[in-house]
Amino acid sequence: MGFARACSVALVGVEGVVVEVQADLEPGVAAFTLVGLPDKSLVESRDRVRAAVVNSGAEWPQKKLTVGLSPASVPKSGSGFDLAVACAVLGAAERIDPAMIADVVMIGELGLDGRVRPVRGVLPAVLAAAEAGYEQVVVPEPTAGEAALVPGISVLGVRSLRQLIAVLCDEPVPEEPADGQGRPDAMLAGLMIPGTGLGTGLAPAAARGDGHRPDLADVAGQLRPRQALEVAAAGGHHLLLSGPPGAGKTMLAERLSAVLPPLTRQESLEVTAVHSVAGILPPGEPLVSRAPYCAPHHSATMQSLVGGGNGIPRPGAVSLAHRGVLFLDEAPEFSGKALDALRQPLESGHVVVARAAGVVRLPARFLMVLAANPCPCGRHTLTGAGCECPPSVVRRYQARLSGPLLDRVDLRVEVEPVDRADLLGQGGRGESTEVVAARVRDARARAAERLAGTPWTTNSEVPGHELRTRLLVAPGALAAAERDLERGILTARGLDRVLRVAWTVADLRAADRPDASDVAVALELRTGIQRGVPMGAGER
């Protein structure tokens, strides 16, 4: 009787569970049994592994073969177990020393010719292996850079099963010819999900393919919305842009991700892990260093927004926008069920998706930007534009954004139509993205210094209790906000959010703490009621 074991990783959402792949050979009729709660793609690995082993020059054992995936209670899916199953079988057949593979984590799909093909989710899988105490991993060569991002792990990238057998048996490693030049690399097909290319709202439209980066200087006029955009970026505050069609709401939203500061190392690993599992990580770019941007279409379902799908839930748009921007254009056209599903991640920074196959916790700390027209035709706020929408239709249209959802939005700005002088450049170009981003970085640095030693890094994350007890504003600064609270203009949550915005405005002008004018600016940005204060975020 022969027995050997290797290790692989099962992904549950964006978290991994180390799985022990055990192979047992017994005398009897040749058969291959796979147990341990595998899905359809994993059951098919029996045929892939057999063909790969034979075509790699090794002999397939003609005995009763049982492969077990432990723990058996964890659902396992995907083709990433192929490499571990093949090595466990070869170890049980004594082609490989079983001791050489017992503590090695192997991730990769096998082709029928023995080539090792890349799979999605390598980074979270290697992170799980490192947390479990493993020090050696074997991955497909195209994903070795992604796996090497995890510190303290020895990574071996292989092109074929033949190469891995030679390395484990201390034999000369055969050369594997690369694919012909000038053709798309078929080996990278396993990293991308069909339909996640261009046009799916995963990058600003102006940044796709032509090399031009969206710049705030391209936006004509719109001083107040630009300043609200700066406040949103500096403090991580959610933003609602409302106004007629063609005023520039989408242009502003597309330029927000470039204003955000670069991701820290930990944030980059979080974002890369989500994108790797979702299959949208660009080949050749193992680490995401810029804030992501996701703009789903208004016909998106609730499952596509918050996560779901058949079997183990997969990341949705809120997770793809983790540490970045989630832009919902034509927000009232989204279904009410989908919009209300955003309430939990807006507050907690994560989303919990429960399905029959299990419960998955996905990261979802994003900056939400909503864009909305005032009515179905969009001309309700324009003088002499001929809006024919009855008042009842306008009320129903605006009510599609529910009160509980809007209560979680810190900044609400009216985007007015651009006048002729601004559009023709007679008023001069506005500040560029580089200038605004520098102020945002400075403001975030001041907030991070103030919040050092706490679990929070931006003003939008600070709980209201801390704002009212430890981070105190100037004496008398809250008088106007308290009056609005008594009149019912603000809720208790709204008061906390006004305080957070006031701290961000103070950070932008390098003040030690907010004063009455900072609170007035925050109130004007939230309620839309004029307070008689200048709206310049970086100056007074």
Please report which confidence band the pLDDT of residue 533 belongs to, taking 50, 70 and 90 as the band edges: low
Please report which confidence band the pLDDT of residue 317 belongs to, taking 50, 70 and 90 as the band edges: very high
Both tokens assigned to 428: 């001069």
Mean pLDDT, range 465-487, rounded to an integer: 87
Dihedral angle computed from the Cα positions of residues 487, 416, 294 and 505, in that order, rounded to the nearest 10 degrees: -50
Mean pLDDT, range 412-423, rounded to an integer: 82
Q: Is the pLDDT of residue 401 over 60?
A: yes
Nearest to 245 by CA among 125, 116, 418: 418
Q: What percent of the chain has pLDDT over 70?
A: 89
- H or E segment to which residue 420 belongs: helix 420-423
Please report which confidence band the pLDDT of residue 409 belongs to, taking 50, 70 and 90 as the band edges: very high
Nearest to 406 by CA among 460, 343, 450, 462: 343
CA angle at residue 42 from 39 to 44, to 5 degrees?
A: 110
**Cα separation, 13 vs 315, whole angstroms:** 7
**Cα separation, 450 vs 443, whole angstroms:** 11
Alpha helices in 78-148 (DSSP H): 82-92, 98-101, 122-131, 144-147
Please report which confidence band the pLDDT of residue 494 belongs to, taking 50, 70 and 90 as the band edges: confident
Both tokens assigned to 112: 């029928």
Q: Is the pLDDT of residue 278 over 50?
A: yes
Q: What percent of the chain has pLDDT over 90?
A: 56
**Cα separation, 32 vs 93, whole angstroms:** 14
Mean pLDDT, range 471-485, rounded to an integer: 87
Mean pLDDT, range 367-386, rounded to an integer: 84
Length of the chain: 540
Both tokens assigned to 394: 């306008």
- Range of weakest confidence among 167-181, 190-204, 265-279, 280-294: 190-204
| Each residue's pLDDT tens digit, 178-234 | 654 445 555 555 555 554 443 345 655 445 455 567 888 888 878 889 999 999 999
Please report which confidence band the pLDDT of residue 158 belongs to, taking 50, 70 and 90 as the band edges: very high
- H or E segment to which residue 258 belongs: helix 256-259
**Cα separation, 203 vs 192, whole angstroms:** 16
| Each residue's pLDDT tens digit, 106-121 | 999 999 999 999 998 9
